Amino acid sequence: MTTVSERFAKDNYAGAVLAVLRMRYRCRSCGATFASREALRAHIRSKHPVSYYAPRIGYVSALVLVALVGGYLVLAREPPAQAVGAPISGIECWSMEQVAYHVHAKLEVYVRGERRTVPANIGIIPNRCMYWLHTHDATGWIHVEAPREIRPTLGQFFDIWGQPLSRERVLDVDLVSSGLGMRVYVDGKPYDGDPREIELIDMR
């Protein structure tokens, strides 16, 4: 698959370019991607055993912690996750990370041939909540983590980011007044529709 940077080298396009690559299961430790949850789990067990077993050991330990309060045996456990932040474009912000539905999409933004950074911690309010669309680092990987299957869009992610996205303006660039165009690629293929409507789902 031709990368966005290779396309720039070939045609020297000076406008704005959005590239979205949709993946389903991605290893947080090394970044490898897989077609199924089972394949990802097998990879983690084989290549990152500490990451696979440590959370389970910690969880079991947490469940067996007990306290005697007022003559009653109380099981120590974390409170259930709940929506605590104000929704943005229909995406909620919950007190705990969700894993029931977990997919990834990678976003690359170029303006005049220079790559723009997609910052870390978009959609994460420290010590409060995490939106179902968020980033953990500045690599461009968008995490879709929700308590159920959803079909979020790139426009919703930009709303959470607090940045504009349209064919006329992206980030701090007014494409109309600058005389620049926009090219959009989804899974390596040109996309001519509204960039806000690109679904951040697994590759089909």
Dist CA 157 CA 22 (whole Å): 14
Report which of 185, 178, 203 is spatially closest to residue 8, judged by C-alpha positions: 185
The pLDDT tens digits for 81-92 are 555 678 999 999
Give domain status of residue 204, yes or no: no
Give domain status of residue 89, yes or no: yes
Residue span of the structural domain in which 175 resides: 4-33+80-197
Give domain status of residue 50, yes or no: no
Give domain status of residue 65, yes or no: no
The residue type of 180 is: L
The pLDDT tens digits for 37-70 are 677 777 778 777 765 444 443 434 343 434 444 4
Give domain status of residue 46, yes or no: no
The verdict on pTM exceeding 0.75 is no
Distances (CA, A) of 122 to 32, 92, 132: 22, 14, 11
Give domain status of residue 66, yes or no: no
Give domain status of residue 55, yes or no: no
Q: What is the number of domains present in the chain? A: 1
The pLDDT tens digits for 92-146 are 998 877 778 888 899 999 988 888 999 999 999 998 899 999 999 999 999 999 9
Give domain status of residue 184, yes or no: yes
